[in-house]
């Protein structure tokens, strides 16, 4: 007798369509309440009203859909809870997909991304992959992200 297993992954959050990178200094004041100890912000993005913050320890998503419901929802996803990840490049869009150990999926979409923004996301993705697999992180890459001094290599 053959059995076929079917696992349906549930989406953790709504889709976040991040449209621009934002400097750490331009983040709302309350973001610092979710950053602890020696944790550093690697990169931050914004939708029309929401924020996504990638640190050296986790992803923090601020869902500010107050017009739909009268509260904010904050998702904190530690890198050690991610079992696999992928990145998809399209002409002006990048999609990051994370499979969490809980069986949930997290999909983050970055729209209107050009060469420099794609280079930042490539570095961010490779850094997250190193965190997930417990590999030694490149201090050079982390500093490029933290200081927003991304080196774009010509094709």
Q: Would you say 135 and 120 are in contact if contact means Cβ atoms under 8 Å apart?
A: no
Which secondary-structure segment (H or E) carries 51? strand 51-55
For residue 83, give the nearest of 137, 132, 10, 50 by alpha carbon: 132
For 95-104, the pLDDT digits (tens) are 999 998 888 8
Handedness of CA 146, 138, 51, 29 (dihedral sign): negative
pLDDT value at residue 6: 47
Question: Is the pLDDT score of 4 beyond 70?
Answer: no
Q: What CATH fold (topology level) applies to the domain 16-146?
A: PH-domain like (2.30.29)
Could you tell me where the DSSP H helices lie in 43-93? none
Domain ranges of the chain: 16-146
**pLDDT tens column, 66-97:** 655 566 788 899 999 999 999 999 888 999 99
Q: Are 98 and 87 in contact (CB under 8 A)?
A: no
What pLDDT sits at residue 48? 82
- At a CB cut-off of 8 Å and minimum separation 6, what does 30 contact? none
């Amino acid at each position: 007798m053959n059995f076929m297993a079917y696992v349906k992954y549930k989406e953790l959050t709504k889709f976040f369509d991040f449209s621009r990178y934002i400097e750490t200094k331009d983040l709302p004041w309350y973001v610092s309440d979710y950053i602890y100890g020696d944790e550093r912000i690697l990169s931050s993005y914004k939708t029309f009203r929401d924020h996504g913050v990638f640190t050296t320890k986790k992803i923090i998503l601020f869902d500010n859909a107050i017009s739909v419901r009268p509260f904010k929802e904050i998702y904190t996803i530690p890198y050690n809870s991610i079992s696999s990840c992928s990145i998809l490049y399209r002409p002006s869009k990048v999609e990051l997909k994370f499979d969490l150990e809980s069986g949930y999926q997290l999909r983050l979409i970055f729209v209107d991304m050009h060469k420099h923004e794609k280079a930042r996301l490539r570095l961010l993705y490779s850094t997250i992959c190193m965190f997930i697999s417990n590999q030694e992180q490149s201090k050079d890459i982390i500093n490029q992200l933290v200081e927003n001094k991304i080196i774009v290599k010509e094709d």
